[in-house]
Amino acid sequence: MFFRLLMESFLRQRRRKLLAGLAILLGTTAVTAMLAIGASVGDAINRELSSYGANLVVTPKADTLDVEMGGVSIRPATAGNYLHEADLTKLKGIFWRNNITDISPELPLDVTLATSTQTTARTVSTPALVPALGLWFRHTLRYGAGSSAETYTMGAPAMHPWWKLRGNWPTNDATNEAVLGSTLAAQDHLALGDLLLINGAQIRITGIVSAGDATDRMVLLPLALAQQIIGYPGAVRRVYVSALTKPEDALARRNPDSLPPKLRDRWYCSPYANSIAYQIQEALPYAHAEQIRRVAQGEGTILQRISGLMWLVALAALLSAAFAVAASMTTAILERQQEIGLMRALGASRAAVANLFFAETTLLALLSGTLGYLLGSLLANRIGQQIFQSAIPFNPVLLPAALGLAVFVSLAGGAPSVIRTLRMDPAVVLREDT
Amino acid sequence: MSRSRFSLLILLRRGLMHRRTRSLAALFSLIVSAAVATALLTLYASLNQKLHQQFRAFGANIILTAPDGAALPPETLSTARAISGPESRIVPFAYAVAQTADGAPIVVAGTDFSAVRAVDRWWQVSHWPDAENLSADSTATAALIGTRAKNFLPGENFSLTYNGHALPLHAAGTVHTGGAEDSRVYLPLAAFTAWTSVPATTLEIQAPGSAAQVQRLLDRLRLALPGVEVHAVRQLVESEGRVVDRTRALMFYSLLLIALTVAICVLATLMASVLERRRDFAIMKALGSTQHQVSLLFLLEAILLALIGAVVGYFLGNLLAFLIGEWNFHTAILPLWQIAPQVLLLNLMVAILAGGVPMRILRAMKPATLLRGE
């Protein structure tokens, strides 16, 4: 009898069920989509922010003092200590290796620039010594051995997305190609394809780069060539690392060595800029790694604000959807006061009527809630694709949350009217609502 | 005429007061819709400015330098200040290479500490040099020492030599940034220039606003300062625009989704509450009311609810936007009066639509059919 009543109610009152169901469906859709977006917006914005460049820098531990002004180092290239290029693979072996998106080693040096004998038309008017930088362009980094080896393509162009290149980056490990900074090229009337003598070796200009900073006055060389020029194979002056990090909080600022073991583990296993730097130092004991505070702190601020904003909007969506659904459930029940009165007049107990109504509401909420979850997930997925070119994955954890919410809100919206009507005399209810 | 208006008012009041729960549910949903519309519209309108403001955490976005490391013309600072307006902050820098006691080179910079403090918020400084430090040791200049440079200096009190002139210094605090600053010694610009006779060589400007606004400022600065190299910190300006645009797009979709959800829920609530009253409608018609009068009554009811809902919702929505601003951006998001008519219009539209659609359905039916049942 109970199930027949339940069935009939759904079959016969299709318009009412449709309206109430639609409200619940849309409510869950909005809430699911907003929560899914809120949960993944941090990652998406983090990836966007990696275009600010490196947030970590690795330098040799026992180093001489940098003498650098306006982005140009005045210290001789041969002074001080170096990192070993071969060790950089170890950076992909640390705990948070998957958060490291790019590695860019640098080796600053000075080179003499002269016109190649083969291009007679051009004469270099620069001072003999120009600043140069040895870099990875599209370096293939191999981590692991045998068939399980992972390869990554890393280098300076990915680290500096704001660099604008005309031409091409030098090919992998080429030792006869280079890129010129745009100011330097303009000053010496050099063009793409020209041949130059750099420290006596014949080099072809494959590209001209505009960076908007001191790089515009430099020669960018493949790292191997730079090492060859200074005579230190495998030497690297500093390494810039771009990593996806979590904004700094009170825990992040603590010194890990003074923390109790449990907190230390939490510190170590959170992708703070500080803990990634700490792990890099563990992998390269002779190096000093630290966050570049300008980028790391700025990114932290932006990340916190934007994900905070999305969470608050998700909360607002949740509250407003809950209120709107509750209001429409109240009305949906009020409409049916007569039905309640009639059932009571025919001898149904209060509990039986209440059970019927609550079962109906729950069933409706579950049906619409599931549909709403699917629709909301799809919507979040599409919005992620549209805005960030990366789909937001379906989040199964949200299903029970969305359903629980749908059932709770629908019951909370309908219950007061059901209870109020049940308290009234059936005769009054039946007469009242004419 | 006056009697009919009188009775209309009574009917209106009765209609709303008689079954209060139903009216309250309708009113409540209209308040929610107005509050959501107000909060989201206000938030969206101020989002651009609020987001760009957050990006100032990255510091200066425009840099002025003299070509080939020469000094800037003396009037550059005042000209730049006049052009960039009171909302921009300007930090002057001057650099020189000095020698420590054992002859090692070290970069010394002169700057305006209060400006650096406001713009370069990522500087981790143990203690800023201020008047206190100066009075403590009046013969030495208070300086800020980079954490790396500290290892190459003998202690708190030391002296550096530039061009044969020695300057006694006192380390008031250390600065740590993870960048080139760590290897430098910072002095107040006036003391620096008096010592080295090098005036400011770089001005870093933190300009507010969007990429287009920054570009306009760049153009004006270039025009006014012909001998000076003016360029944007491209790394900051480009990414900022993209992140702000994407966040706004995300917000826009969210707003659309929330607004649509709430609007349809409200519509469902109101429609149900009008349909529920088909018997009232039938009785009035059976007693001789014209279709016109009945429609007017229902419409007035809906409009009245929508009006009250809009007024209450507008205030609640502004409160919500204000709280979101305080929590998230730590600055208030103030009410925008210009969105009040939009909110009102939106609410009226929802209410009239919700009243109108069922009225059209009911109009086609005969009172007798309606009174008999379904």
**pLDDT tens per residue, range A310-325:** 888 888 888 888 888 8
Residue B317's pLDDT is 92
* List of chain A residues whose C-beta atoms are within 8 Å of the C-beta of residue B19: 334
* List of chain A residues whose C-beta atoms are within 8 Å of the C-beta of residue B22: 331, 334
Residue A51's pLDDT is 83
The count of other CB atoms within 10 Å of the CB of residue A14 is: 10
Query: A55: which residues sit within 8 A by CB, 6+ positions away?
Result: A241, A242, A243, A245, A273, A291, A292, A295, A296, A299
When pLDDT is cut at 50, 70 and 90, the band that residue B234 belongs to is confident
The pLDDT mean for chain A works out to: 84
Please state, in angstroms and rounded to a whole number, the distance separating the CA atoms of residues B355 and B347.
12
Query: A305: which residues sit within 8 A by CB, 6+ positions away?
Result: B51, B54, B328, B329
Q: Which of A62-71, A128-137, B41-50, B300-309 has the lowest mean pLDDT?
A: A62-71
Model confidence at B373: pLDDT above 70: no
- Tell me the shortest Cα–Cα distance from B135 to chain A, in angstroms: 31
Angle at B354 between CA B353 and CA B355, to 5 degrees: 90
Number of H helices, E strands in chain B: 13, 10
Closest CA to B36 of B257, B267, B334: B257
Interface test with B, best of A280, A305, A315 (most B CBs within 10 A): A305
Interface test with A, best of B235, B267, B322, B350 (most A CBs within 10 A): B235
Interface test with A, best of B119, B265, B280, B323 (most A CBs within 10 A): B265
**Mean local confidence (pLDDT), B339-345:** 90
* List of chain A residues whose C-beta atoms are within 8 Å of the C-beta of residue B54: 301-302, 305
Please state, in angstroms and rounded to a whole number, the distance separating the CA atoms of residues A128 and A143.
40
Q: Tokens for A364?
A: 């409706």
Residue B316's pLDDT is 93
Model confidence at B116: pLDDT above 80: yes
Phi, psi of B207 (to 5 degrees): -100, 140
pLDDT more than 70, % of chain B: 93
DSSP letter string over A128-144?
Answer: SEEEEEEE-SSEEEEES
- What pLDDT digit, counting tens, does each position of A82-126 carry? 889 888 888 888 888 888 989 999 998 888 888 765 554 455 554
Amino acid (1-letter code) at residue A349: S
Model confidence at B368: pLDDT above 80: no
Amino acid (1-letter code) at residue A245: T
State chain A's maximal CA–CA distance in angstroms.
111
Interface test with B, best of A14, A26, A81, A381 (most B CBs within 10 A): A26
ipTM: 0.80
Q: Which residue has the higher pLDDT, B365 or A47?
A: A47
Is residue B41 within 8 A of residue B342, CB to CB? The reply is: yes
Please state, in angstroms and rounded to a whole number, the distance separating the CA atoms of residues A292 and B59.
13
Is residue B171 within 8 A of residue B156, CB to CB? The reply is: yes
Classify strands A150-154 and A238-243 as parallel, antiparallel or unpaired.
unpaired
The count of other CB atoms within 10 Å of the CB of residue A120 is: 8
When pLDDT is cut at 50, 70 and 90, the band that residue B374 belongs to is very low
Please state, in angstroms and rounded to a whole number, the distance separating the CA atoms of residues A49 and A197.
39
Amino acid (1-letter code) at residue A39: A
Q: Which of residues 173-192 of B touch A (CB under 8 A)?
A: 176-180, 183
Residue of A nearest to B32 (CA): A320
Angle at A363 between CA A358 and CA A366, to 5 degrees: 125
Residue B137's pLDDT is 53
- B59 part of contact set with chain A, CB < 8 Å: yes
Whether residue B21 and residue A417 make contact (CB cut-off 8 A), yes or no, is yes
- B341 part of contact set with chain A, CB < 8 Å: no
Residue B56's pLDDT is 85
pLDDT more than 90, % of chain B: 17
Q: Which of A19-23, A105-109, A226-230, B111-115 has the lowest mean pLDDT?
A: A19-23
Please state, in angstroms and rounded to a whole number, the distance separating the CA atoms of residues A229 and B345.
73
Domain range annotation of chain A: 2-46+304-432, 55-291
Helices A261-268 & A273-283, crossing angle to 10 degrees? 90
Residue A165's pLDDT is 92
Model confidence at A337: pLDDT above 70: yes
Whether residue A323 and residue B152 make contact (CB cut-off 8 A), yes or no, is no
Whether residue A69 and residue B35 make contact (CB cut-off 8 A), yes or no, is no
**Mean local confidence (pLDDT), A374-386:** 91
Model confidence at B1: pLDDT above 70: no
Whether residue A65 and residue B26 make contact (CB cut-off 8 A), yes or no, is no
Please state, in angstroms and rounded to a whole number, the distance separating the CA atoms of residues A303 and A45.
7
- Tell me the shortest Cα–Cα distance from B235 to chain A, in angstroms: 6
Tell me which residue in B59, B247, B264 faces A26 most closely, judged by beta carbons: B264
β partners of residue A132: A109, A219
Residue B87's pLDDT is 86
DSSP letter string over B98-128?
Answer: EE-TTS-EEEEEEE-HHHHHHH-TT-EESS-
Residue B134's pLDDT is 54
Residue A397's pLDDT is 87
Q: Give kind and range of the element (H or E) at residue B319.
A: helix B291-324
β partners of residue A69: A72
Closest CA to A177 of A150, A154, A156, A208: A208
- What pLDDT digit, counting tens, does each position of B3-43 carry? 555 576 777 777 666 667 778 888 888 898 899 889 989 98
- B352 part of contact set with chain A, CB < 8 Å: no
Residue A120's pLDDT is 44
**Cα–Cα distance list, B53 to A96, A257, B80 (Å):** 31, 37, 21
Q: Give kind and range of the element (H or E) at residue B89.
A: strand B89-99
Phi, psi of A22 (to 5 degrees): -60, -40
Residue of B nearest to A315 (CA): B324
**Mean local confidence (pLDDT), B292-312:** 86
**Cα–Cα distance list, A221 to A89, A108, A168, A184, A191 (Å):** 21, 10, 13, 14, 16
Model confidence at B264: pLDDT above 60: yes
- What pLDDT digit, counting tens, does each position of A249-301 carry? 888 888 888 888 898 988 988 889 999 999 999 998 888 898 998 888 888 88
Amino acid (1-letter code) at residue B319: L
The count of other CB atoms within 10 Å of the CB of residue B306 is: 29
**Cα–Cα distance list, B245 to A374, B208, B216, B317 (Å):** 28, 16, 19, 24
- What pLDDT digit, counting tens, does each position of B187-231 carry? 999 889 989 888 888 899 998 888 888 899 999 999 988 888 888
Model confidence at A80: pLDDT above 60: yes
Please state, in angstroms and rounded to a whole number, the distance separating the CA atoms of residues B279 and B224.
77
When pLDDT is cut at 50, 70 and 90, the band that residue A434 belongs to is very low
Closest CA to A40 of A377, A268, A373, A266: A377
Angle at A121 between CA A118 and CA A124, to 5 degrees: 90
